[in-house]
Structure 1
């Protein structure tokens, strides 16, 4: 049996959520919206799996063509991104330094992401729109100073991210990358949430990014410098993680900035991020 796929969507101007089937969308928000207004509340109640089981026999309410995909978790309290989390990415910096002992982190805002099948927007301020395919973990059980041994038990679901970046804007200041990571709709997230059930889902996932069908990035989670356990443990040391928090866990080598000369995304390009057991996140590119 395939894993349930939870989506957040916009249909005729109204936001909702549901289960995506091959034959269409089961509208769960129409059935459970008073109890759980969004998927974030479903996650807070730890109800993803039970809701999927209770809805397994339902027929679709409308075709997928009727919806526009939104980012899966609406209005998360935190979106925390991990930088330099694959061995070859550390070598790209050519600074002679060994891999750091702790992850590099930065924050993104929800508005900087768009949904599956939507256009990534290249802003007029810069042509240097780049791609970064990554795996997303969504926190289901909150906590502070979470032990590594217990960390995976705090995950509710998995998703994908194209952590799009305006490269020259991450160098506007002396030591931060916030500006270049937060232009509206330069990244994407989705297409859906896959409930997390066991460690095998994360152990050795193949992660791949393609631009116009050409493979640009490819690696496996077994090679990550910082494991999913370490990431949760480390982040929860300084901030309380809460249900619905989104952690973007790092990208392999091969982003456009690393080519000589660099290859930036341009209008009309199609970017796909694919991970085994999760799916394919697909976006076009357009000028803002």
Structure 2
């Protein structure tokens, strides 16, 4: 299934995409794409609904973040060997973990704000993992049993804030609008191998990132298991698993976003995001 949330910011309703690519409203049956609806039994209830009888939603309706109730937005740094190389960093001996504020989360096509004082706002297409069942001390073999599905994440970053401002990475990752997720939460039954997904990102029609989850250093199962040794993962938590090469920081010379730029990004089978960039007032 391709689950989604549609409607005005802060008043989104649950929905899904039917076989013809049309949005269907789930609000008469489902509270939200959150909590118990992300559990295996909740997803099974949604899957059993008669899709063709659900109300159609206008195709022009705004899409919100594809999951609600996210308590943790956890990110993995330097998780693609070719991306580590372009930034001059060594491949880490264990996953690098940092947190992104949940206040960054927004819809897949909502505009992206360059924060005040920013000179180095950057892009990162990433595979997002949405937790569906609480995970604590789970093995790698069990890890994917705790995943509800996958989504596209743009892990926007302000590199000066992240690297040069005497803080940890969270400072440069948590500006407002820096976490578009969606358009859909694609349930894991539709993604037989999360380590075989092509992904790309363009700015103003120029393709900067063109990669694949095949080059992840630590795959999804390993990451979920690893994180669960340090913190419980709950339904609705989102893990952003790292980015392939082609970020602005790694270009020669470095290239960063500016007001008026248009970002477009996609992961195979998970949908596409489109964002207009503007400057904070």
Same fold (TM over 0.5): yes
- How do 1:10-159 residues align onto structure 2 when only pairs under 5 Å count? 10-11=7-8, 14-21=11-18, 22=20, 24-29=22-27, 31-32=28-29, 36-41=30-35, 42-44=37-39, 46-65=41-60, 67-94=61-88, 97=90, 99-159=91-151
Q: Pick closer, same or farther for the CA change 1:229–1:12 going to 2, 3 Å.
A: closer
Aligned-residue offset at 1:23? 6.3
Backbone CA RMSD of aligned residues: 2.0
Contact 1:209–1:215 (CA<8 Å) still a contact in 2? yes
Question: SS at the partner of 2:98?
Answer: strand
Q: Pick closer, same or farther for the CA change 1:175–1:270 going to 2, 3 Å.
A: same
- How do 1:104-253 residues align onto structure 2 when only pairs under 5 Å count? 104-174=96-166, 176-197=168-189, 200-253=192-245
Deviates more, 1:174-183 or 1:134-143: 174-183
Q: Pick closer, same or farther for the CA change 1:90–1:51 going to 2, 3 Å.
A: same
Q: Pick closer, same or farther for the CA change 1:125–1:55 going to 2, 3 Å.
A: farther
Question: SS at the partner of 1:159?
Answer: strand
Contact 2:260–2:276 (CA<8 Å) still a contact in 1? yes
TM-score (norm 1): 0.89
TM-score (norm 2): 0.91
In structure 2, C-alpha distance between the alignment counterparts of 1:156 and 1:53, rounded to whole Å: 16
Q: Which consecutive unaligned segments of at least 5 residues does structure 2 have?
A: none
In structure 2, C-alpha distance between the alignment counterparts of 1:128 and 1:231, rounded to whole Å: 28
Aligned pair count? 278
Q: Pick closer, same or farther for the CA change 1:117–1:45 going to 2, 3 Å.
A: same
Describe the superposition over 1:8-52 as per-residue Cα deviations: whole angstroms up to 9, x where unpaired.
Answer: 1224973211113456432111x12xxx42211311464224313
Describe the superposition over 1:105-130 as per-residue Cα deviations: whole angstroms up to 9, x where unpaired.
Answer: 11112221321221011112213211
Aligned-residue offset at 1:72? 1.4
Q: Pick closer, same or farther for the CA change 1:62–1:93 going to 2, 3 Å.
A: closer
In structure 2, C-alpha distance between the alignment counterparts of 1:85 and 1:236, rounded to whole Å: 17
Aligned-residue offset at 1:223? 1.6
